[in-house]
Chains A and B, each alone.
Chain A
Amino acid sequence: MSTEASGHEKYYIPEKSSIPIVFAAATLLVGWGAANAVVGGGTSMLLVGMMALVATMGFWWAVVIRESQAGLDTPTLNSSYVYGMAWFIFSEVMFFFAFFGALFYIRSFAVPWLGGEGDKGLAGELLWPEFEATWPPMITPEQSVMGDQAVTVGPGESMYLHSISSIFTWLPLWNTIVLLSSSGTVHFAHMALKDNNRKRFNFWLGITVALAFIFVILQAVEYYEAYAHLGLTISSGVYGTTFFMLTGFHGMHVLIGGIFLLTQLTRSTGFKHFTDKEHFGFEAASWYWHFVDVVWVCLFLFVYIL
């Protein structure tokens, strides 16, 4: 074995860093604080932890950006970031897979069985004889037996489109339009960057960020409507459960993706970062954005339409 390979870069060897240990300490506060808050022990530790965590993350990314601007990143390290981001997104896909899997299982098996259908319907027939398997179940199994005494009651109304005439006031449709067009605008921004046109890049990225926050606001309106007027809450039986958990986690990811894109916009407008060749920070944000978009298409299909 020889100790040199001609024509190959010398490996980049990182320095020690105290950021991760601070990150872990902040995570301890967030994790313990969140659990404590959930069991009713107060939220102060969670809040302190969240602030510490956000600050540490911000500082960490700032260091990474500074290193990249200082030209320390070797091609190998850059490609490590690319692979790392790709596999991170894959792990996010699997997280949503768990929730979509739950939705499909509940719709195709759990609810029909509770209604007395198929191989496993016997127990449902005996336990909840009055329960009718429909999707969405507007009356929960418990309600079908206990009536007004039931604790878990179904929603007053679902989020499905009720009549074709109201399609233009149906929020999910607008949300879809907003999010799908934002995937287009982020692509235009990418094309502009490749053409080395910073003005056009900032313009399209700005539109994308605006669309992201419009989406979040529209979803907040939708949630408000559900709670205030439709009698649809997270505890409205299994429909409310799957509806709010799926759209809620997606909404959180939109928010994170929006902040991610906003950071890239600030880097471009404020610091003149990114060139036509070197712009992985933006590219990672746009990958994440396309991922969030694809999840929405599945949501729109399986939660709002089918």
Chain B
Amino acid sequence: MSAVVENNDHHDDHHGPRKGIWRWMTTTNHKDIGTLYLWFSFLAFLVGGAFAMGIRAELFEPGLQLMDPIRYNQLVTMHGLIMIFGGVMPAFVGLANWLIPMQIGAPDMALPRMNNLSFWLLPTAFAILMSTAFMEGGMPGFGWTFYAPLSTNYPNVAFFVFAVHIMGISSIMGSINVIVTIMNMRAPGMTLMQMPLFTWSWLITAYLLIAVMPVLAGAVTMLLMDAYFGTSFFDAAGGGDPVLFQHIFWFFGHPEVYIMILPAFGITSHIISTFSRKPLFGHASMIYAMSSIAILSFVVWAHHMFTVGMPLAAELFFMWATMLIAIPTGVKVFNWCATIFKGSITYETPMLFAIAFVVLFTIGGFSGLMLAITPADFQYHDTYFVVAHFHYVLVPGSVFSIMAAVYFWLPKWTGNMYDEKLGKLHFWLSFIGVNVTFFPQHFVGLAGMPRRYADYALQFAEWNAISSVGAFLFGLSQLLFLYIVLKTIFVGKKATPRVWDGAEGLEWTVDSPAPYHTFETPPKING
């Protein structure tokens, strides 16, 4: 007992961080942990991106040039796993760590030691996953969706299973932390409906994560048991059903794709309102729309499996349920447009990314609607049209919003402004790169090019070559992003506390950079 009291007298760590690597290993500070998450995610984006470059290099022309199909499958699988679980999700968790306490006037996350653990479990999980690269049989090559029975007959699948378990534990702990922080540590006087939208989007995301990560854990557990312990969950010979795997996986998988987009909605709302110099149009309806999207995400999973052979009633139900999602999403896009309408708009880099987000995410949404139509999906299923669709919602959707958020809040984090000219250059290179990469994939997909093959028929050659050129442009321009961020940190010009002319919210009322412990006593909220 006395030891604890004694420790508490060491107040040095309350005023500033320690130096050196031990600071990052033992930190309980939400800003440090947010930074760790963001750098981890950037590293994952580079590794996953390098895998994508390998894929596009192989697909630059028909035939097998650089690798055999097994290696190609491994690249596709690891690209998906790394980008989803190592790139997009940790980036959003990093943003949540940095921003939620500042936006609600809390000193830190509610459970800071568990916060540290949630981060450090991620490198742990990826170490286990990547260790398969050095084993006989190699990395997983069954696609990030790991459909049984392909995955149950794959070498080294046990390492994949335990890596996913640890990622899941990390996500669940992170989400519990977010929910508890928001429900429990808001500055006195801040009602739920007054809460900033990024915080709101993360509250909903955290509920989704807590609900579906355990289901993913169940799916990989059944997979492990089928692969190594003789159970028959997914084996018709014993009375099971491989389709059951897809149901369980997509019950996790569909909420998962909204986990990767809801925080983007929050970010975009802040940025568009700031640079239009107008309050967001329809704050409350944005919250209701996000909640509706989250609830609907639990009843649409089987639209990923229209061609698997489901009863007609199920096909129809999942088609209509999926189309319903267009309504709340439409509300959101309408609100963003209405916010821009008659605003005093300036086009700084975050705004450019946010506008591109609205336009390109909507394109991805429209191709999603096309895919939702069951009879039409029989044609599109497992073609490059699907690849184009989900990359449009994930890359110029989620990833653009992450970049927008970095440009928007970087001055608050580092105290320095980024180089606006370079930022705009980065935006235009990324914008052109992303569209050149993925737009042609709609065409080859509709023409019947199947996904997940290392080779393709000759008639798809031109569009694939163009797509590969775009991919390399997009990939290389992210090195510029790294340069811009480093330049900001080390030699950027000093930023003002408010940074942006139209910025509203508690995080803009404190210094730039924000103090190590932002609010040691609760700020006052004027309702």
Give, as a whole number of angstroms, the nearest-CB distance from A150 to chain B: 8
Instruction: Tell me if A120 counts as interface (CB < 8 A to partner B).
Output: yes
Instruction: Tell me if B172 counts as interface (CB < 8 A to partner A).
Output: yes
Give, as a whole number of angstroms, the nearest-CB distance from A87 to chain B: 5
- Give A1-40 interface residues, CB cut-off 8 Å to B: 1-5, 8, 10-21, 23-25, 27-28, 31-32, 34-36, 38-39
Instruction: Tell me if A206 counts as interface (CB < 8 A to partner B).
Output: no
- A241-B248 in contact (CB<8A): no
Beyond A20-B113, A66-B1, whether A80 also contacts B184 by CB under 8 A is yes
Total residue contacts A-B, CB cutoff 8 A: 270
Chain B 209-243 per-residue mask, 1 if CB under 8 angstroms from chain A, else 0? 01111110111011011001111110111111101
- A5-B524 in contact (CB<8A): yes
- B248-A94 in contact (CB<8A): no
- A120-B309 in contact (CB<8A): yes
- Give B471-527 interface residues, CB cut-off 8 Å to A: 506, 509, 517, 519-524
Beyond A11-B520, A32-B159, A38-B224, whether A140 also contacts B239 by CB under 8 A is yes
Give, as a whole number of angstroms, the nearest-CB distance from B261 to chain A: 21
Instruction: Tell me if A105 counts as interface (CB < 8 A to partner B).
Output: yes
Complex interface: stretch among A95-103, A175-183, A210-218, A291-299: A95-103
Chain B 104-136 per-residue mask, 1 if CB under 8 angstroms from chain A, else 0? 001110111110110011011101100100000
- A87-B176 in contact (CB<8A): yes
**Bound complex: CA A272 to CA B116 (Å):** 32
- The interface centre, meaning the residue of B28, B117, B231, B247 with most chain A CB atoms within 10 A of its CB, is B231
Q: Which of A17, A98, A123, A245 contacts B215 (CB 8 A)?
A: A98
Chain B contacts for A39, CB-based, 8 A: 156, 158-159, 228
**Bound complex: CA A211 to CA B431 (Å):** 64
**Bound complex: CA A88 to CA B179 (Å):** 11
Q: Which of A88, A106, A140 contacts B237 (CB 8 A)?
A: A140
Chain A contacts for B8, CB-based, 8 A: 15, 72
Q: Which of B26, B162, B224 contacts A31 (CB 8 A)?
A: B162
Chain A contacts for B28, CB-based, 8 A: 14-17
Chain B contacts for A244, CB-based, 8 A: 231
Instruction: Tell me if B27 counts as interface (CB < 8 A to partner A).
Output: yes
Give, as a whole number of angstroms, the nearest-CB distance from B124 to chain A: 5
- Give A266-293 interface residues, CB cut-off 8 Å to B: none
**Bound complex: CA A78 to CA B8 (Å):** 18
Interface residue ranges, A against B (CB under 8 Å):
1-5, 8, 10-21, 23-25, 27-28, 31-32, 34-36, 38-39, 60, 63, 66-67, 69-70, 72, 76-77, 79-80, 83-84, 87-88, 90-95, 97-99, 101-102, 105-106, 109-111, 113-114, 118-120, 123, 127-128, 137, 140-142, 150-152, 234-235, 237-241, 244-245
- B521-A3 in contact (CB<8A): yes
Q: Which of A8, A70, A113, A150 contacts B522 (CB 8 A)?
A: A8
Chain B 51-76 per-residue mask, 1 if CB under 8 angstroms from chain A, else 0? 00000000000000000000000000
- A102-B231 in contact (CB<8A): no
Instruction: Tell me if B20 counts as interface (CB < 8 A to partner A).
Output: no
Q: Which of A28, A67, A99, A239 contacts B127 (CB 8 A)?
A: A28
**Bound complex: CA A69 to CA B233 (Å):** 48
- Please, could you name 17 A-B residue pairs with CB atoms under 8 Å apart, sorted by A? A1-B524, A11-B519, A18-B25, A20-B117, A66-B3, A72-B8, A80-B185, A83-B179, A90-B211, A94-B215, A98-B251, A114-B236, A114-B241, A141-B238, A234-B229, A240-B231, A241-B233
Chain B 168-211 per-residue mask, 1 if CB under 8 angstroms from chain A, else 0? 01001001110111011101100000000000000000000011
**Bound complex: CA A67 to CA B158 (Å):** 39
Give, as a whole number of angstroms, the nearest-CB distance from B353 to chain A: 29
- B214-A94 in contact (CB<8A): yes
- A20-B248 in contact (CB<8A): no
Q: Which of A12, A24, A90, A106 contacts B124 (CB 8 A)?
A: A24
Instruction: Tell me if B399 counts as interface (CB < 8 A to partner A).
Output: no
Which chain B residue shows the least CB distance to A145? B237
Return the 8 tightest CB-CB contacts between A and B, nearest first: A98-B218, A235-B230, A238-B239, A24-B120, A142-B237, A20-B117, A110-B241, A95-B214
What count of chain B residues pass the 8 Å CB interface test? 99
- A237-B4 in contact (CB<8A): no
Beyond A16-B27, A34-B162, A94-B210, whether A106 also contacts B5 by CB under 8 A is no
**Bound complex: CA A101 to CA B250 (Å):** 13
Interface residue SS majority, chain B: helix
Chain B contacts for A114, CB-based, 8 A: 236, 239, 241
- Give B335-386 interface residues, CB cut-off 8 Å to A: none
Give, as a whole number of angstroms, the nearest-CB distance from A6 to chain B: 10
Chain A contacts for B239, CB-based, 8 A: 106, 110-111, 114, 137, 140-141, 237-239
- Give B85-108 interface residues, CB cut-off 8 Å to A: 106-108
Instruction: Tell me if B244 counts as interface (CB < 8 A to partner A).
Output: yes
- B244-A106 in contact (CB<8A): yes
- A98-B228 in contact (CB<8A): no
Give, as a whole number of angstroms, the nearest-CB distance from A42 to chain B: 13
Chain B contacts for A10, CB-based, 8 A: 520-521
Give, as a whole number of angstroms, the nearest-CB distance from B409 to chain A: 19
**Bound complex: CA A80 to CA B177 (Å):** 9
**Bound complex: CA A79 to CA B239 (Å):** 47
Instruction: Tell me if B264 counts as interface (CB < 8 A to partner A).
Output: no
Chain A contacts for B217, CB-based, 8 A: 95, 98
Chain A contacts for B165, CB-based, 8 A: 31
Chain B contacts for A241, CB-based, 8 A: 225, 231-233, 238, 240
**Bound complex: CA A21 to CA B169 (Å):** 15
Give, as a whole number of angstroms, the nearest-CB distance from A226 to chain B: 15
- Give B1-38 interface residues, CB cut-off 8 Å to A: 1, 3-5, 7-8, 10, 13-14, 18, 23, 25-29
- A11-B166 in contact (CB<8A): no
**Bound complex: CA A4 to CA B239 (Å):** 65
**Bound complex: CA A39 to CA B183 (Å):** 43
Beyond A1-B509, A239-B239, whether A35 also contacts B159 by CB under 8 A is yes
Q: Which of B108, B177, B212, B236 contacts A94 (CB 8 A)?
A: B212
Beyond A32-B131, A152-B237, whether A21 also contacts B120 by CB under 8 A is yes
- The interface centre, meaning the residue of B120, B237, B241, B509 with most chain A CB atoms within 10 A of its CB, is B237
- A95-B311 in contact (CB<8A): no
Which chain B residue shows the least CB distance to A60? B113
Chain B contacts for A70, CB-based, 8 A: 1, 4-5
Instruction: Tell me if B293 counts as interface (CB < 8 A to partner A).
Output: no
Chain B contacts for A35, CB-based, 8 A: 128, 156, 158-159, 161-162
Which chain A residue shows the least CB distance to B177? A84
- A14-B228 in contact (CB<8A): no
**Bound complex: CA A108 to CA B465 (Å):** 49
Instruction: Tell me if B312 counts as interface (CB < 8 A to partner A).
Output: yes
Instruction: Tell me if B163 counts as interface (CB < 8 A to partner A).
Output: yes
**Bound complex: CA A151 to CA B238 (Å):** 9
**Bound complex: CA A24 to CA B365 (Å):** 39
Beyond A38-B158, A80-B180, A241-B233, whether A102 also contacts B244 by CB under 8 A is yes
